[in-house]
Structure 1
Amino acid sequence: MTILETIKGPHDLKGLSEPDLARLPGEIREFLVNAVARTGGHLGPNLGVVELTLALHRVFDSPTDRIVWDTGHQTYVHKLLTGRQDFSKLRGKGGLSGYPSREESEHDIVENSHASTALGWADGLAKARRVRGEDGHVVAVIGDGALTGGMAWEALNNIAAAKDRPLIIVVNDNERSYAPTIGGLAHHLAALRATDGYERMLAWGKDVLQRTPVVGSTVYDALHGAKKGFKDAFAPQGLFEDLGLKYLGPIDGHDLGAVESALRGAKRFGGPVLVHCLTEKGRGYAPALDHEEDHFHSVGVMDPLTCAPLAPAAAPSWTSVFGDEMVRIGEEREDVVALTAAMLHPVGLGRFAGRFPDRVWDVGIAEQHAAVSAAGLATGGLHPVVAVYATFLNRAFDQLLMDVALHRCGVTFVLDRAGVTGTDGASHNGMWDMSILQVVPGLRIAAPRDAGQLRAQLREAVAVDDAPTLLRFPKESVGPEVPAVGRVGGMDVLHAAEVPEVLLVCVGVMASVCLRAADLLEARGIGCTVVDPRWVKPVDPALPPLAARHRLVAVVEDNSRAGGVGSAVSLALGDAEVDVPVRRFGIPEQFLAHAKRAEVLADVGLTPVEIAGRIGASLAPADRPGNGPAAPSAQGEN
């Protein structure tokens, strides 16, 4: 039996012998590599926090002491140490979440997979303990990348003012989020990291003292408690201390004894303390360390020895199609520039950055700043393309509304991972953008159905310089081209029946689902017209008169039903006094459990069989006329 298999909870860590404790990090890393290779998941970040997580659970008493993890993809080790060692279905339906989950464990406080929020949570938890007269500590673990987010600094401003509140901030500094951390904070942390005199002195002291008989290790442990004094002599004063936070570090985050010593010192201090730990993303796994792009931030199913992917070769991704087209557009137009929020490669801007390094900016985990900076770029005569995950644009709604749209700035937002993403769970599903953004005046939203449409609509978007535009596409691979058979207004007709009764309005990638649903309905004698609006906001003026020629309109979208495209279509028909019932098929107003995208879509009824069945049931034969209205022309109407 391995040492890891004997760990059923954090209490089992406290009684480990020194030899067993020395073996445990290696066992954990071996477990992680083999387990995550079978399922896919966030490998690099977790390899980097093994000793740090062990130290946290040896020094503090979770869940009495509250440990809050920022960007919770770094909690696999935490799960292992809190009784969750079955990784066989990690991120799969019925298996462990890839993030903290209250349903899984009392040790998971915040189901946090968005960055920069842990410090605000910790501030609130610590205040609550003070008001209720409760003992115990609150610990927030935040990465250097997450510290680039404005929310983190808003929280620090409040935490620093609480001189007598026991709150510990652990900065897991591995110099990167997805990619290397950028910005002024990164330079400051680098200065603290790179104080050669300080680091050389500590390395010399450790080597000499630990070779000194009898008293050497004791003296070295004592010196760990005095590291703050050494830091003052050899390193620049930290801006954290200027804020009023006690600062301990920098500390080797892979030296378990050093991290424990620092955390115990922080625990004894009565006020807020920041413990700065230096870690290495991908630690202990050479292929991750050799992967310069992101140190295996997230991997798919692979051979753990060769790192060769084991899943079948996939078709090109939506992200790669976007990235390639951006390079082509950049070569044609010098005014097109790009911004992203700490996700240069995940959103497909890596090639653009390589080709045009002076025309792309990674602003860190700061979506709000990205939107406002884009407004400035547009006002300055450029056309910025802001590429982020759909779920993260939620943070920048006010800036999109009041800074970009109000000023009619020509900014294009590109939302990757739109709709159901699946395995990353509730927080990563991009299922709210088409609802939230319906209220933004002047904004145009495109939902491409295939790669050709993505390329075409991206070009249409960057051609607009007097209003914001937005494109959205999913995480999955691009499917086959879906040809149009005609045109009505600005909409593509994908299928036209001789005697249509149902108008199926498909949003983006739901086109193939609608076409299959139409086949099922026509097998039951119900004729369908299937249209792709292409631009789903605003509603095409040609849609109401087309709808008037049908008995039922059904809108199918991979977005929340509440306030989405279906709602906009209903409103447009009402304003045009077209009295045709509208059925809305979308994602229910709930947070979705993690599972594969196809499984989630099936669970919420977004399948051809479910859609056809519900439409067919609403058009009972007795209610249908013998002859339906004439079909729309496949050659196009205006």
Structure 2
Amino acid sequence: LIVILNDNDMSIAPPVGAMSHYFARLVSSKSYRSLRKLGKGVAKALHVEEAARRAEEYMRGMAMGGTLFEEMGFRYVGPIDGHDLDQLVPVLRNVRDGDNGPVLVHVVTQKGKGYAPAEAADDKYHGVAKFNVVTGEQQKSKGGPPSYTKVFAQQLIREAEKDDSVVAITAAMPGGTGLDLFGERFPERMFDVGIAEQHAVTFAAGLAADGMKPFAAIYSTFLQRGYDQVVHDVAIQNLPVRFAIDRAGLVGADGCTHAGSFDVGYLGQLPGMVLMAAADEVELSRMVATATQIDDRPSAFRYPRGNGTGIEMPDVIEPLEIGKGRIVREGSRIAILSLGTRLGESLKAADALAAQGFSTTVADARFAKPLDEDLILRLAREHEVLITVEEGARGGFGAFVLHLLAEKGALDRGLKIRTMTLPDVFQDQDTPFNMYEEAGLNARHIAARALEAMGQDEAAAERIAAALAAS
């Protein structure tokens, strides 16, 4: 086994792990500082400060390797300058061809090495938007409504002000999840467990078992790391852990590694789980309030990266009735059932369809589990076509709806149903709009799918697409 430690002295948030603390104690010890002070004096007298600085860097690595990694059974090699390929590549070849048990190669690098703007602000180049190559200035997002992440944090703070048992957990992403704001307000009730989503989930389960109200705020793709714990430590025990799932759907510059494509499917199959998806910032606030009140089972609510819709926030945030959706617009021929923030695109599609003479109902499901069976069966019964729209992979909300309709015999009477999901590929990064355009989940695609189900020709879809483009 060959382990490469990429030592770039970089983390998105302040490190909280025992390993980091161990290193810090080692290099701040009295003996180390005395030796360092003596070495600096000698180096200054000999005018070799730069060489001494590099030597110290190597000595630190040797000390740490000797005292830690070799005690763990690894043969330690390093530290090595990760930017000097003439040195690095031969070492990697040697350890590859060696036969001396597990090896740890300590490689020292600098994030952004060779590009001055990145060297000066390495934390700003984790997810990169368009930027000026000469100056390094990244394209700033336009002002507007608060982000969904901030809306979540603000509502959680309001809930915590009313209820002392509300606590928050993050796995090394306090800024990314908005829990830095919660931590400023309630420092004793916010826990950063480091990059350990499995522990975050089990820790939340333990808190819930003891009567606390834990909110585990974790990106959708990062929660995948803790799925075993979600099943065994939370769902089987039916503990009221609340999962705040950030980065639902497509995420723009963060690309496919952060795209929240699968959580509806992998959480919706768990017995007892309450699973919600916010259509806008008011709905998100109401889902936070709802989750706070769910004390008899696990719950989760998902919301995207980016800003809200700009809808006015009410003074009083009312929780939702569990498993109940809402009709946003009444029609008669076509029904569009949306889960999540595709609701805005669904309404645009309904406008375009209505302009062509196709009366369209738009509903916000709110819950992927439990489904609003009465609402779905009514839509199926009263419309010729039913379209489900979601920001998730196949096997999620649309599949749950199909299963319900089949079980209740609602497919026996000629209902035309189409499910619209993310495509069965990992999409490259782009702007969110362009990514949803590629995915076929924008308004023109929703309208076109409805027309196709109605048996209309492509000319009708092209007229609607042109009207939407003009608007």
TM-score (normalizing by structure 2):
0.81
Deviation of 1:290 after TM superposition, in Å, equals 9.3
Unpaired segments ≥5 residues, structure 1: 1-158, 160-166, 623-638
Query: Is 1:172 aligned to 2:4, yes or no?
Result: no
- Equivalent residues of 2:323, 2:369 under 8 A apart: no
Q: Deviations over 1:94-134 (max 9, x none)?
A: xxxxxxxxxxxxxxxxxxxxxxxxxxxxxxxxxxxxxxxxx
From 556, 565, 570, the equivalent of 2:397 is 565
From the superposition, tell whether residues 616 and 482 of structure 1 become closer, same or farther in structure 2 (CA, over 3 Å): farther
Partner of 1:553: 386
From the superposition, tell whether residues 289 and 381 of structure 1 become closer, same or farther in structure 2 (CA, over 3 Å): farther
1:420-431 superposed matches below 5 A: 420-431=250-261
Q: Secondary structure at the match of 1:426?
A: coil
The one-letter amino acid paired with 2:12 is Y
Unpaired segments ≥5 residues, structure 2: 314-320, 458-471
1:485-500 superposed matches below 5 A: 490-497=324-331, 500=332
Partner of 1:594: 429
From 391, 397, 408, the equivalent of 1:576 is 408
Deviation of 1:537 after TM superposition, in Å, equals 1.3
Partner of 2:198: 368
1:369-518 superposed matches below 5 A: 369-481=199-311, 490-497=324-331, 500-518=332-350
- Equivalent residues of 2:75, 2:104 under 8 A apart: yes
Partner of 1:193: 27
Q: Secondary structure at the match of 2:167?
A: strand
Partner of 1:144: none
Partner of 1:242: 71
Partner of 1:524: 356
Distance 1:223 1:380 in 2: 51
The one-letter amino acid paired with 1:423 is A
Deviation of 1:575 after TM superposition, in Å, equals 1.5
Partner of 2:438: 603
Deviation of 1:220 after TM superposition, in Å, equals 7.9
Q: Deviations over 1:116-164 (max 9, x none)?
A: xxxxxxxxxxxxxxxxxxxxxxxxxxxxxxxxxxxxxxxxxxx3xxxxx
Distance 1:207 1:277 in 2: 28
- Equivalent residues of 2:385, 2:453 under 8 A apart: no
Partner of 1:630: none
The one-letter amino acid paired with 2:27 is R
Q: Deviations over 1:307-358 (max 9, x none)?
A: 6964432431101111111111111110010111110111000111111111
Distance 1:267 1:618 in 2: 59
The one-letter amino acid paired with 2:13 is A
1:137-216 superposed matches below 5 A: 159=1, 167=2, 169-174=4-9, 176-195=10-29, 197-198=31-32, 201=35, 205=39, 208=42
From the superposition, tell whether residues 198 and 265 of structure 1 become closer, same or farther in structure 2 (CA, over 3 Å): farther
From the superposition, tell whether residues 617 and 320 of structure 1 become closer, same or farther in structure 2 (CA, over 3 Å): same
Q: Secondary structure at the match of 1:470?
A: strand
The total of aligned residue pairs comes to 440
Partner of 2:377: 544
Q: Secondary structure at the match of 1:587?
A: coil
Query: Is 1:343 aligned to 2:176, yes or no?
Result: no
From 138, 152, 155, the equivalent of 1:322 is 152
Partner of 2:463: none
- Equivalent residues of 1:248, 1:262 under 8 A apart: no
Q: Could you tell which deviates more after superposition, 379-388 or 436-445?
A: 436-445
Distance 2:266 2:287 in 1: 21
Partner of 1:98: none
Distance 2:322 2:74 in 1: 63
From 453, 456, 459, the equivalent of 1:618 is 453
1:27-426 superposed matches below 5 A: 159=1, 167=2, 169-174=4-9, 176-195=10-29, 197-198=31-32, 201=35, 205=39, 208=42, 227=59, 238-247=67-76, 270=98, 271=100, 272-276=102-106, 297-298=126-127, 310-426=140-256
From the superposition, tell whether residues 305 and 489 of structure 1 become closer, same or farther in structure 2 (CA, over 3 Å): closer
Percent sequence identity is 32
Deviation of 1:261 after TM superposition, in Å, equals 7.0
From the superposition, tell whether residues 279 and 330 of structure 1 become closer, same or farther in structure 2 (CA, over 3 Å): farther
The one-letter amino acid paired with 2:76 is Y
From the superposition, tell whether residues 600 and 260 of structure 1 become closer, same or farther in structure 2 (CA, over 3 Å): same
The one-letter amino acid paired with 2:73 is G
Distance 1:248 1:380 in 2: 46
- Equivalent residues of 1:450, 1:482 under 8 A apart: no
Distance 1:558 1:273 in 2: 43
Deviation of 1:302 after TM superposition, in Å, equals 6.7
